Structure 1
Amino acid sequence: MSLICRHDIPIFFANIDTPGEQQKYAVALIKWFFQFVPKHATAVVLYDVGCVIDRSNQLYGIIPDDIAKRIQFVTSAMHAYGHQWACQLVYNPRLCNGLGLTDGEGAERVWSRLTKLIPIVRASSGARRLWLTDRQLSFIASESLDNLGSWIKHRLEGATSQQDRAECTLSKIQLEIDDIRKQWQLQKETQLSVKPRAHIQINKELDALLSLQGHWDSAENAIQVAAEALKTSKATKSLNMLKAIQETHEQNSRDLEKLYVSLSNDKSPLQVKKAEPEFRQALRLAHDLKITIRRQAISSFFEWDRLDQAVGGRNSALGTKLHQQTRKAISRRQPALMSAIKKYNAYCATLERLYNPACNLPLPQPLPTKLSELRDSSLLAEDVWTTSDSKPLPWLRNPNVQSGIYAMLKQARCLEEKRRLQSEAENLCRWLGRELLAVELALYSPSNASLLVHLSRCRDHLLQLKAYWINPFIPTERFDAQCAHAKELALQLIGGNPMGEGKKIYAQSADFDHEVIDESSMEPVNQDIDPTTLLLVTDVLLSTEELEGASIPDDTCAIQNMHMTKLAWIEPLGIIEDDLDVSTLKMPVPLASPPSFSALHGIGFNLDDLQRLTQAETMLNDICLNGCATILKDICDKDPSLGLNSHHCALFTTHDLIRARYKARDQELWRTMSSTKYWDKDVWILPIHRPQQMHWVLCVAYPKHRVILLYDSLVDQEAWSYDLKDLSNLFTRLILLANRHDHQLDIPIHDWIAQPTVPTQSNNYDCGLWVIAWIFSALRGKATCNHHVTERTIPQWRNFLAALVVNYSSHSLTKSLINFREQR
């Protein structure tokens, strides 16, 4: 069991040596922690079952009074949603004042980083297992401490984003914040005053009955299947037996319903005025059944989470045995849950049919019958209201008030989080100053001569933290001033020259009997040596001062500008349509000699590529797509009329986005993309390959207008949301690299807009041909050709490209292609 601070830094761990996660371990950790904090310090303890340990302390006093009055128990955020609503009102961190956005799930995140040790320590001894765990936890703590600056920045961004959404909601509902706060207080008072739930024995009986109902429904389905199969049978005896089985099943179903009614809790809270007895009975049954459904549904959700814990690489996957056991448990419980939901929805329909407005009672709403929809529905957490009220309850019936309460709580938590982050940032700065002061004083103390190397490393590490801990609250200047103040104060306290003192420490630590020799008193070794023949260290290495002042550009591969482009999923208006007619395209004049390999930018066609291009219903590869696009660009550039547009286009290859996606260095990115002279172009054309979908798409950017047109013959919005992140990083790096190489490119790297075109493809192999057609339209100064190039004319477009490539290929390759066609 672990004690983790809110920054996910491990503090203390307890080795559990008894079965189960007993409360004594949590109490021991709490007591041990309070031995190291001031006597007046307070703390909030977020625990998976914080409500249980708080109740145990109230009943039995398991925590000393001097500690108990300084702590507050809260349930961790993710586990809180598995508790009853009355428990959440008191212990949910999102509903408690002063906790900000702390979720208390740091132990889970630390545990996910420890799972890599499981296969290593499985066969280790107990002592070595503890040692390895301790070393890994020490590393996690050290790394998390170094990353506190970025942690504060990340948390601040999240708090600001959530606060903006909450304030937007509050502005839309147009309710006074005092009225919303009053309704929240009324809701808590009302829901915390609800009488206790049904007895646990009755809950068990209802669970057993619902399980029986699930099996009964399965039997009913089997009987219906058998009846459907035997309806044309001429075996009279079999039909009579089946009819008897159906009648017996219907009678047993009625008896089962009576049994459920008899098990319903007669003492459940029910204070309804002017209601018929049938309405009261249905309301009581729906009330008790809703509680059971919520408990079973939450258990089912946790089981699905366990199966999906490895999705997206979050955690390690379950083993085969655990996976099978979990699947069996889900399949065993799901029929009973579905039967309970259907029965509850039937009660809701009955209540709606028998409802009397004079009852002044909100009716329960039916639940979704799909688990995925049920999980996202807020109806599951709502209790069935069983008390009439003379006055309307806005917090219960008014959706605006409900949204306002949620937004008010979210806004309050975000403001608390911001205040706490600012306080933590100030503490970081002060702590760094105190630590530096202590290390500086220790360095100049003669008694610490044997620790000189360790203290120097400690000081260097603290000075490095200054760069890591820069955050929006504390700028670089504050940290620099704090470090300078610590050094000045150390000098004042020691009252001497620190450098001279440091030399004495070094001499004593090396057991010298004399002072360090002054370099000015040394005799030159040889006056006759030509100074120009000496190889000095300064000829090879820069000094520290020169290194700090030297202009060494940073590599842009670490840039993360994923929000540069906003995806507006609407078709752009006013774009120029290309009147390209594939059937009338004419081949250019044959070349006297084929272009060189370098003229085609290193793209060479072989026989397999030409076969792929000429064969119908075959998807193009990267050589076909890049080669055809390059040839079309060369043709347009040499044409007097088309060249006016194509000379303003920079044509990239399908490999350029891949280089940026996998963080290619600036030198490689500039070497491969600078030949296009994109900084002088008005249009950037970038074909993209999606290997998982086996699909080609196109991006055409107009950097001066900060507009990107997305060409996707299948129009997949979700895939574009991922591609745009990589495109934003690539375009940002291209702009920075151009400016760094003295090619002024005054283009903002934010607020770009990306818009899609209309779908055109219905098969799974012509996407590459569509991309080349769009590239040709862009080179011709148009935006799209969707209305003139269709799937009917795509085969003609393929034949034209194949002939074009043959015309531009070498004579030997052309001859091989002719022989190949003759053989076919």
Structure 2
Amino acid sequence: MTVGLLYDIGCQLHRSCVKYQLLDDTILRRLTFAISVFHAYGHQWRVKLYTTLVSVKALAFRMEKFNQRLFVLDTQVRHLNNKNLVSCGNWLSRRWNNCVKRKTNAMQALRELSVDETYVRQEWKSQVDHQTRPLPRNVDHLADYNLRLVEERAHQSRLADALSRWKTRLGISQHTRLDQLRRNIYLQVRLDAQALKTCIRERLRQRKFEIEKLERSYRQAVNKHKLNSHVDAAIQWRNPTIRKLVYLYNSLCADLGALIRQRCSPPNAIPPNPISPIGIFNLDVDADIWQDIGLDDVMPEPPDWLADEVTRAAIKLVLEIDRCNKEESHVKVERCALQEWAIVEWDALQRARAHASDDEVILYHIDNRAQQFIGLVLGWQTKVRPIPCAWPMPDRWGPSHAELANGTHVYSNDHDDEDDVGDDRDDWESDIGCGDEELMDVLEDIALADQYMGEEVDDIEDSCVVDD
């Protein structure tokens, strides 16, 4: 069997192996040296012709097929780029129509709810503030810290003076009562349990909102699959932490019950209900997580952004309208950028034509390019005409009205008409990779062709390479 060795200076390598006996003759006889291109070294023309790929047919065939595959792949990628350029108008039109439809539906649904938008935005701000605030920590001497919290709100100098006056007015019994509150074990355990339950409740709320987002995401486009998997993994990763907090809270509830039985609690104290770990992630309305019996003297009402279904639906609709307004501004900017690019491209074509006025071949190609560009501009104008501009723009897109009128026969609307608004379940950015599937099909076809070409290449090598 003979091995082909392709090297930039294969002739020099062959000469060195022969002259300095770098390889044994039995090995050297089974090597065929070749060069891929004519290099600039000072060798004789006969040596270059002898070692070029044209003489070594098997290696030449391999390099030819490799370059052919690269050329075909570049052609397919260039075709997809041109196709995506033509469909820019369709893409902007589809985004605009989808945005207008979503915004109209959201505004209609918001009017049917008969809710004040200002009130809804205030509730949304309250929800954001409540869900982004730091969670209460389960620390030692929490009762003492809560008693000192009022003292730290006012200015230090005024608070120091007021504190000194208060201490002078306290009697012996009141001092004793204050010391008892600070050393009250039941009060400390109760505050710890209340803080821990608040932490569990907030974590379950966050998990509930993430689950709702994940359930809605199943109806979105495929390009969100990785993000959905990441969100799902993050939710499952936090489940053991929530279960551990539930276990610690139930332990504190047991301690409170023991203190009540030992008569170490205030009169008429009620032990809090433990949280059942079964079905805790469902976060039902009647779940024990919402009941603060025995933990707080005052039972606050749940906010509207959490308990009122109308307010929750209105918040989602207001956020949908805000996203539509933001999307409209983005589409307007894209529309202006498309027109500005068309003007700059047409001016560049005219300057190139002026510089190549003496070359008929270049003029021919520039004219063909100009005709194609006129057809491209006509297609864009038809699609983006309903979209307003983000800033003042001229009426022209580069070519004059007469040139556009003469180029109407070039433009044909044979490609897929994508004016119709896609399904509401589609993602906003699902249209970006519209040509990826075609590219993958081309790559699969090339790989399949290479698989069937393997046997033909082997047959040609067997006929061209001399077996010693």
Do both proteins adopt the same fold according to a TM-score greater than 0.5, normalized to the shorter chain? no
Normalised by the length of structure 2, the TM-score is 0.39
Normalised by the length of structure 1, the TM-score is 0.25
- Which one has the largest radius of gyration? 2
Would you tell me which structure has more helix in proportion to its own residues? 2
The structure, 1 or 2, with the larger RCO (C-alpha pairs under 8 Å, 6+ apart) is 2
